[in-house]
């Protein structure tokens, strides 16, 4: 059942510190009880990188961002929103029904996060990704940049999720990637995937 998401944006202008650091600041609360939602996991995505953070005891979160950038914030199947950051810190407030929020990750339906519909939405928005658990190079910026340069030639970026830990993840990744692969097969010449994989084996270590 779709829930109404109330998102309140407040821009904090800082004209005196034009080179100061800027952030996405936020708070998550329950729309029914009005109480803060502590220790909730958020996924913040920019281009092909996904960062995970949690709210504090008061339901607040803070994430350092770059100017003139676009970020996607996802919280399970509750919240999925795009945030455009310009020259100042952005404040967000999410109010949602968090009844039974403590979901067992072993039984959670990962298809609520990654599925064919989400893939189609990403493609429509020009965000072309393939999900992978293969590349464990997120800590190596140099290797990740090489990987990015190669995949960019073929019109997509990898999102590296790390090892599969929970049941349902593999099925969700397969469904999401099937839609994206169909799009990429139409976009690229025959045999593109094999050529790309060969370049990755040669240049990304």
pLDDT band per the 50, 70, 90 thresholds, residue 17 = very low
Residue ending a domain, among 67, 96, 125, is 96
Assigned domain for 76 exists: yes
The span from the CA of 134 to the CA of 139, in Å, is: 14
Region of poorest pLDDT, from 125-129, 133-137, 158-162, 186-190: 133-137
Span 34-78, pLDDT tens digits? 888 887 778 888 876 777 787 888 889 999 888 888 898 888 667
How many domains is the chain built from? 2
Residue 31 lies in a domain: yes
The reply to whether 161 and 77 lie within a common domain is no
124 phi-psi bin (left φ>0, alpha ψ -120 to 50, beta other): alpha
**pLDDT tens digits, 75-116:** 866 788 889 888 888 898 888 776 655 555 555 667 777 889
What does the pLDDT read at residue 151? 92
pLDDT band at 5 (very low <50, low <70, confident <90, very high): very low
């Amino acid at each position: 059942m779709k829930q109404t998401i109330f998102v309140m944006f407040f821009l904090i202008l800082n004209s005196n510190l034009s080179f100061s650091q800027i952030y996405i600041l936020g708070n998550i609360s329950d729309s029914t009880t009005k109480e803060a939602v502590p220790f909730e996991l958020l996924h913040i995505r920019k281009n092909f990188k996904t960062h995970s953070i949690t709210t504090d005891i008061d339901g607040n979160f803070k994430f350092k961002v770059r100017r003139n950038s676009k970020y996607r914030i996802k919280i399970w199947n509750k919240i999925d929103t795009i945030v455009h950051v310009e020259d100042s810190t952005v404040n967000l407030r999410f109010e949602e029904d968090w009844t039974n929020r403590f979901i067992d990750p072993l039984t959670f339906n990962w298809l609520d996060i990654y599925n064919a519909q989400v893939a189609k939405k990403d493609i429509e928005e020009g965000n072309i990704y393939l999900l992978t658990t293969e590349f464990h190079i997120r800590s190596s910026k140099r290797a990740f940049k090489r990987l990015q340069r190669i995949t960019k030639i073929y019109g997509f970026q990898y999102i590296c999720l790390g090892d599969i830990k929970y049941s349902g993840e593999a099925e969700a990744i397969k469904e999401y990637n099937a839609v994206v692969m169909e799009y990429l097969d139409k976009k690229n010449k025959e045999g593109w995937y094999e050529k790309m994989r060969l370049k990755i084996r040669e240049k990304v270590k």
